[in-house]
Structure 1
């Protein structure tokens, strides 16, 4: 505790980093990790939450005017970084199984793989996605799709930014292998978070990626946040040492079962109240359900109306690159509400939708 109250290493406390390194070995087993002679060798640093790491990666990799491929719809966090950077966001449409590789190839069709070798080309440098239990859709990329996307990244020399805070919340086991586990080239930057398995207020996450890129981001840490919170690191290190790696994985399995039960209960109430009024896809993990309201072009008025009655949904336009365009979707999160509250909330939504019709 005395040590945590002073300045600590920018890359994170040694004990916590060592614990995380072993976790990544066990869960993802990145190719060539620990081999300093291999271009796919990885380094890991502790970050002030995965959102801070996301910001630092984007600022380190991109320049004003760069083209960036972004899963659509997706978590709006990168929009807030890319717009001030004046980067051009190119949507890659997703479906119930996550980002579609054919849509990615279509988005890349204006360039050729040879353009990646031309420093004056505007070919995208980076692909951003939330591959597991996506926010807002709840979809998970299959291993087959990940392999196809990775091959396209090799073909067009793309870096993949794998923003994966919900990885341990997949409802099925074994867990789908990550992009990191496929990375033989050193082109994957992976973001993990302690927010979803311990507590978001800790503001701790960890970044895994090719050594040169991680070192570059570490320089930004040194002159910005300086280092992650020492007190949070001491707390998390103590908890993780007590659990051990097997205990951490067991704890994650408990959370998955808890969230899956909650999701199933929510789906029952969706069938009860919204059949004929909306469509939705059963999530394969995580915290969210993506709902399409039938018969309307824009969900904003409906979201505002139910908010006046004490219910909060997020309008779908927030999760699209063009947030000004109308969207018939809303995002629901079933984690914090009780079953009684979910039932009531969806009945209120149904009443408002019937009034709209």
Structure 2
């Protein structure tokens, strides 16, 4: 591995953490069994009310916890994780990813991959630091970065994920500014990326592009935070190589998760990375939650032992086929109802379709107000933007849980909603003078006689859904300014006393 100074990536506040002696003793208690210990601050297992736990699996096999194994499942464990599971996960990582220089890496169990994202980011950045992120960005990463007032540097994506050329352009521009300003413009030291079945775009990065991005990060001394929660849910014929499998220098911190393939409630995930980085994250876990759920880890370890590697890989194959079929149903419904109204790329992994709405500059009110009234919910693209305050015409649709028949209905309703939005915008752009005159008396009565532009479309649109647009178009719009105030209220079905 390259001679990397990991202190460069570790923030000052993280570098001040020190191991707790009691946690070190817990680790030793698992390693050494022939000592009389009066050191452990653990409750006695005989006081626990649980006698036996049994889990039946869908294939007919079962997991039974009782006796000493149940005691272990209900007790404190080393911060790194339940030792038998840590051993199993290390073997799994070596089989699946074959990372170079494995002896220089370590693995740590976390409370879901979101916990790993949070702790890795907290380890690496200080307030105001620049961070490279893919655009669109997983919302869970944005909420971690926000309290640090991080400068998010978005890197555009296409149907294959983050653009390597765009990443190079961004870094070259940044380096030029850094040189011109004498270091006043910081260079980023962290790249956050979803390479497989990305959330929300559903893109899976080809092997060649992963290599290009890895080489760029080597050139600019950037640590790669590879959040690969959907790596087991791609729809390709072959498994794409992970950044970890390409990591000859030791600059990849990889997050893996079983939330999407075993259970999201188990909160089972792990981080793999350079030993110094993992050791520092372990210190953070010591000071926050001590360790991830022991019961979840023991259940997972027993599942691996009952199934073995081959049966687990068969289960992953089933997962991919299941979600691919749901993706296909969704895309078919979109082709029938949204063609001409929207644009999209067919997802190559994950649980989401990233939809661009044509003819609408901002979808927020359309979805959050009129969409909810219509009985459909989608996530506005704003949630996945580096700057969520800007206008966005993208929608994230999830096909993971909705019943197949409702997928068809949802896309039909979305098409209706978009057409209505187009009509609203047409109505707004072509009839502003009429709207102003028609509503003038009503708003004057509410002492809201400010300039028309002060309100803007969002304010006026709260009243427009009550208008029968076909009737409006069929009549001479100029009649409304000549009507009395009460008549205007009647025409728009507005009660003057309530607004």
TM-score (norm 1): 0.95
Of 110, 113, 127, the match for 2:173: 110
Gaps of 5+ in 2: 1-69, 423-499
1:202-254, Cα deviation, whole Å (9 max, x unpaired)? 11100000010000000001110100001111111111211111111111111
1:77 aligned to 2:140?
yes
Q: 1:234 to 1:119 in 2, by over 3 A?
A: farther
1:180 aligned to 2:247?
no
**CA distance in 1 between partners of 2:183 and 2:251 (Å):** 18
1:97 aligned to 2:160?
yes
1:39-80, Cα deviation, whole Å (9 max, x unpaired)? xx2101111111001100001111112111011102011211
Name the structure 1 match of 2:412: 347
Of 386, 389, 396, the match for 1:324: 389
1:281-339, Cα deviation, whole Å (9 max, x unpaired)? 10111100000111000111221222223321000111001000011100000010111
Name the structure 1 match of 2:113: 50
Number of aligned residues? 349
1:291 aligned to 2:355?
yes
Of 72, 77, 100, the match for 1:31: 100
**CA distance in 2 between partners of 1:336 and 1:306 (Å):** 19
Name the structure 2 match of 1:135: 199
Of 66, 83, 89, the match for 1:20: 89
1:88-116, Cα deviation, whole Å (9 max, x unpaired)? 11111111110001110111113449x79
How far 1:121 moved relative to its partner? 7.0
Gaps of 5+ in 1: 35-40
Name the structure 1 match of 2:469: none
1:105-164, Cα deviation, whole Å (9 max, x unpaired)? 111113449x79x99872111011111001000001111111000110010000000000
Name the structure 1 match of 2:298: 234
Of 208, 211, 233, the match for 1:169: 233
Q: Would the aligned equivalents of 1:277 and 1:353 in 2 still touch at CA under 8 Å?
A: yes
**CA distance in 2 between partners of 1:330 and 1:285 (Å):** 17
Q: Would the aligned equivalents of 1:70 and 1:92 in 2 still touch at CA under 8 Å?
A: yes
1:147 aligned to 2:211?
yes
**CA distance in 2 between partners of 1:335 and 1:78 (Å):** 21
**CA distance in 2 between partners of 1:246 and 1:153 (Å):** 35
**CA distance in 1 between partners of 2:174 and 2:417 (Å):** 47
Greater share of helix: 2
User: Secondary structure at the residue paired with 2:332?
Assistant: helix
Q: 1:213 to 1:120 in 2, by over 3 A?
A: farther
CA RMSD of aligned residues (A): 1.6
**CA distance in 2 between partners of 1:173 and 1:246 (Å):** 18
Of 317, 327, 331, the match for 1:253: 317
Higher relative contact order (CA 8 A, sep 6+): 1
**CA distance in 2 between partners of 1:243 and 1:316 (Å):** 40
1:314 aligned to 2:354?
no
**CA distance in 1 between partners of 2:300 and 2:183 (Å):** 43
**CA distance in 1 between partners of 2:134 and 2:390 (Å):** 17
**CA distance in 1 between partners of 2:142 and 2:350 (Å):** 22
User: Secondary structure at the residue paired with 1:249?
Assistant: helix
Name the structure 2 match of 1:123: 187
